[in-house]
A and B are shown apart, each in its own frame.
Chain A
């Protein structure tokens, strides 16, 4: 078991023939993900890697292959448009990897998403994607994370950061602890799934026994997550919040990682999570051991 993606996921890749899209499509195929179609306007009729059909539009790809999820590698100027095309094709899951989409574009995308009322889920943008670890036929990797560091198991990981997710997964796997599903929700100020949306799924999934949540400075997503953990969760949650040492007013790499007007500091978020019963790792090196110690009791 897992959340959102697994053996029944049939993936279309938007921007498959670009350099990033091609590289990662190959990686996803190698992992065992069912990549059933690609979309590049004007390249319809071609074959990727000699086997995956490429279409001009997402709607054509869905009609021909029965795809139910998409992964977007389209560059920023066309990325919001690509997300809207994914929505319109009726896909259950849209994963947008692209970094650097203007926030004004994402405000519109988000508004359309709200109108879909849960029919489609959006992960990202500016994220590593989602993975349910497992061998071909069971596992499913959508995005850019290195597949080989993962191990099938029962821990859910949700994070605003890519490499910090790998760090947490690497720590878990090194301790022999596997993961049910790992989801990078992305580092932009306005995006799709929030911590709360993912925690809801992990709480409901019988095969997820504990959660690592990785937040960072900026916005109020960690505080909302804390409220959800307090009210609705009985599974252990270990957390880490990056940016204790970040200066206010500076964008720390991610567009969303900024302390603005004194709001969104790591200290506030850590306090909220601890008050909600999550245990916050003292350093980023202790994320897995913090969760393991909670579950051992």
Chain B
């Protein structure tokens, strides 16, 4: 689960990771009031108006602007940014609508660095990555000048060790007496954030050294581990439904795994691996013929008939779907449950596009019998490849 910069910074603040002063603004008036308040608190009229969307590259896209003229200018900038369709390299060409702003104090920046914490799945450790090349895309630094990325791994038994932070500090040029202690403290706090808040990603880009000698998280990007939701009831407050695909939200609420894609064949599959493989085989036979998967949908190993019905309805309602491929290898999932769920949805909403069904595994004979007696126009497939070819033919024609 992704969260906004201002939410990530609120978490940082609770653990003692230094952040600039700032206030959330949902309206232009809020933005002006926040700028006035910041000017009073800091003695400087300079504030930064920052669009809050769940995507990086906001500055380049025009979603982050500096107001040197206090509240009046902050208001003007807020007017421009709030409601704009912000396009960045992570949003896709249609962009993301800006619905909230974060108004932050301006800092006198001496240096910009990069600091990130990720789960290094190959080493099975939390890895801290740091670089002197702050403020730019870290993927680009990693690709072009990998020697500029410094990495340390934390032993989960021993926990974070101060020497690891010192090692980074010296190599980042933060070894001076006044910065060393601050950096070590910041790293220790950030590790606490990662572990106790169940982050799968925690990125500060840039981490800045101010002319006053402070080290501050100027940006904050946090992704939370969805698996840990059960022990974080407070995460419900952090969810911003405006940033999510409405169909994906509906699927999540129904206990289904759904990802929207650009193609035209709706897929209903049991199991994540088989669901991905089903997308792949549609693309394999559909390439060059204008046929591609419209979604990833895994109904899971033990879905109920109601869940299958809900899943099939979601596909039926999508206007881009020109044909549907149901691909089931029943293990725990019984084929008759799938058949009944599909029929219930089709009877309620009507089946207006070709439907290809491949059933295999537990209770397969019963499932096939239920489908063939349903009166629905269903093309039965004997294998995954047969089904994919049939559904491609149905759309390409």
Contact = CB atoms under 8 A, between A and B. Distances in A.
Interface of A: 20, 76-77, 100-104, 107-108, 110-112, 128, 144-146, 149, 159-167, 170, 187, 189-190, 214, 216-221, 224, 240, 242-247, 249-257, 261-262, 266, 282-286
Contact of B124 (A110, A145, A166, A257): A110
B275 interface: yes
B361 A103 contact: no
A144 B331 contact: yes
A225 B198 CA distance: 29
Nearest to B258: A253
B279 interface: yes
B275 A253 contact: yes
Given A107-B124, A162-B301, A255 B227 contact: yes
Interface centre among B142, B282, B285, B329 (most CB of A within 10 A): B329
Contact of A162 (B198, B231, B271, B283): B271
Contact of B272 (A76, A254, A266): A254
Contacts of A190: 119, 121, 124
Contacts, number: 178
B126 to A, nearest CB: 7
A103 B269 CA distance: 26
Contact of B226 (A111, A247, A255): A255
A102 B225 contact: yes
Contacts of B90: 249
A59 to B, nearest CB: 22
23 contacts: A77-B230, A77-B231, A102-B228, A107-B119, A107-B124, A128-B331, A146-B330, A146-B331, A146-B361, A160-B273, A161-B273, A163-B273, A164-B273, A166-B361, A167-B360, A170-B329, A189-B121, A252-B257, A257-B272, A283-B284, A283-B384, A285-B384, A285-B385
B277 A240 contact: yes
B107 interface: no
5 nearest interchain CB pairs?
A161-B273, A253-B272, A163-B271, A285-B385, A164-B273
Contacts of A251: 226
B292 interface: yes
Contact of A247 (B257, B261, B278, B285): B261
A252 B198 contact: no
A282 B284 contact: yes
B298 interface: yes
A107 B331 contact: no
Contacts of B155: 111
Nearest to A189: B121
A256 B298 CA distance: 15
A247 B275 CA distance: 14
A53 B190 CA distance: 47
Given A107-B124, A245-B283, A285-B384, A252 B362 contact: no
A162 B331 contact: yes
A219 B122 contact: yes
B152 interface: no
Contacts of A101: 227
B293 A245 contact: yes
B139 A261 contact: yes
A191 to B, nearest CB: 9
A187 B273 contact: yes
B383 interface: yes
B203 to A, nearest CB: 11
Chain B interface secondary structure, helix, strand, loop or mixed? mixed
Given A164-B274, A283-B285, A285-B388, 16 more contacts: A103-B119, A104-B228, A110-B124, A162-B301, A163-B273, A166-B274, A167-B384, A190-B119, A216-B272, A240-B277, A252-B257, A252-B259, A252-B275, A252-B276, A253-B276, A285-B281
Nearest to A159: B273
Report the interface size class on chain B.
Answer: 35 or more
B385 A286 contact: yes
Given A76-B227, A170-B360, A217 B276 contact: yes
A77 B227 CA distance: 10
Given A167-B384, A242-B276, A261-B142, A107 B362 contact: no
Nearest to B285: A283
A190 B279 CA distance: 25
A107 B156 contact: yes
B379 to A, nearest CB: 17
A245 B388 CA distance: 14
A243 B329 contact: no
Interface in B254-301: 257, 259, 261, 269-285, 292-293, 296, 298, 301
A26 to B, nearest CB: 12
Nearest to B155: A111
Contact of A244 (B122, B142, B283, B362): B283
Contacts of B139: 261-262
A104 B225 contact: yes
A255 B1 CA distance: 12
B3 to A, nearest CB: 15
Given A163-B331, A247-B259, A285-B384, A216 B276 contact: yes
B125 interface: yes
A253 B259 CA distance: 9
B121 A219 contact: yes
Contacts of A244: 280, 283
Contacts of B298: 253
Interface string B131-145: 000000001001000
Interface in B175-218: 195, 198, 200
Nearest to A261: B139
B248 to A, nearest CB: 9
Contacts of A255: 225-227
A256 B126 CA distance: 15
Given A170-B361, A261-B142, A286-B385, A242 B227 contact: no
Contacts of B285: 283
A167 B119 contact: no
A108 B156 contact: yes
Contacts of B329: 163, 166-167, 170
B253 interface: no
B246 to A, nearest CB: 16
